[in-house]
Structure 1
């Protein structure tokens, strides 16, 4: 399955996620699908040009984008939604049901639930980071777009920062579901793809937040 990754860096000020400033990357994706290109998350407000380049690398333009899936409602995932949706007028916009009413968009955001499909992409409800957080699975390639259900750092899987997690217990349950799914690939919204992600996630589970 052809996938193009868009990567931007942001700086989180001191005091937001800890005593020191934090530099982190923000990743969103353009995915080729049978019925047209799917954009998974739209990054920060300055991500439009990077998404355009990714769509072009798949051989298309914004006119070929048919679906926009938002893993959740945080600004680093919906920041360029207006810019992308306005240039991709044929694209339906989706987000997890509990998050969708709180996402500002130029047209209706359709709610997604467990087991729904957007083209060949299956939706898994993975709440905890936000109430409506979803992950997106392509069974044919074993690829899971994990959103902020977890992050990667230093070659391993880590929990998303507790400061940005609405319900740590539900987030842990979602990680256990993801581990049981055993995807061959995990593509993160924060952090690069790693080798053996399921094994790394299995090592992580059982450890507390902040460990």
Structure 2
């Protein structure tokens, strides 16, 4: 069993950026964690192929939470590889499937009302991006403490960034896949975009929860791999 980072370099709203979806390899099967922005299917596929794997080996996609840079290409993946099982938390699955309006969209619409003239175009663009996301049924919902992937991976509830956010802990590799519960900034693990957290107090507690695991490796979607010195 191993984890591979998939660095995806791109330009968004005129700025260069990199995200780090992760690939879990176990028993010659692949599990992708998060799918990037819309139209990132070929970018992520190319990274997987670089490591010598085939997309026929892709068995699962785990979504840490409903944000456009994490689920943007989920519909495309499911359409291209219909056998893939989609896994998410109970709460986030309702947003992913379209059963319930997403928290992030509701937040963005509320923030728009108080934005300055300079910010409002960005706010409207962000709302349109969220509204354009295509919904996908979730095949398996999970809760805090659930064991998945042949009981080798433990689901960790890490609310705050969104209310149903999950991270993944793999004891055999002493590793955590953080989603947006932790990002790497200046060689430190910190809360992601605290100004946009749905609940900053819970986000800070979730970060502390992940740190308390004292894992060796933290795979951060933003910032890349953090290796603990302890």
TM-score range, shorter chain: 0.7 to 0.9
Q: CA RMSD in A?
A: 2.1
Residue 111 (1) aligns with residue 146 (2): no
Q: Is the 8 A contact 1:37 1:55 kept in 2?
A: no
Distance 1:174 1:10 in 2: 30
Distance 1:164 1:184 in 2: 28
Aligned-pair CA distance for 1:33? 1.6
Residue 164 (1) aligns with residue 196 (2): yes
Distance 1:121 1:10 in 2: 33
Q: Is the 8 A contact 2:37 2:69 kept in 1?
A: yes
Using structure 2 for the length normalisation, give the TM-score.
0.75
Aligned to 1:7: 8
Q: Is the 8 A contact 1:32 1:58 kept in 2?
A: no
Distance 1:78 1:26 in 2: 13
Aligned-pair CA distance for 1:53? 2.0
Distance 2:11 2:159 in 1: 24
Q: Which runs of 5+ in 1 are unaligned?
A: 14-21, 200-211
Number of residue pairs matched? Answer: 190
Residue 61 (1) aligns with residue 54 (2): yes
Aligned-pair CA distance for 1:2? 4.3
Flag the structure with higher helix content: 2
Name the CA shift for 1:115/1:9 in 2 (closer, same or farther; >3 Å).
same
Name the CA shift for 1:171/1:164 in 2 (closer, same or farther; >3 Å).
same
Residue 45 (1) aligns with residue 38 (2): yes
1:56 aligns to what SS in structure 2? helix
Using structure 1 for the length normalisation, give the TM-score.
0.81
Distance 2:3 2:20 in 1: 16
Residue 146 (1) aligns with residue 182 (2): no
Q: Which runs of 5+ in 2 are unaligned?
A: 98-134
Distance 1:41 1:101 in 2: 16
1:136 aligns to what SS in structure 2? strand
Q: Is the 8 A contact 1:4 1:57 kept in 2?
A: no
Distance 1:48 1:55 in 2: 11
> Alignment partner for residue 76 of structure 2, among 54, 79, 83?
83
Residue 181 (1) aligns with residue 206 (2): no
Q: Is the 8 A contact 1:29 1:41 kept in 2?
A: yes
Distance 1:125 1:175 in 2: 11
Aligned to 2:92: 99
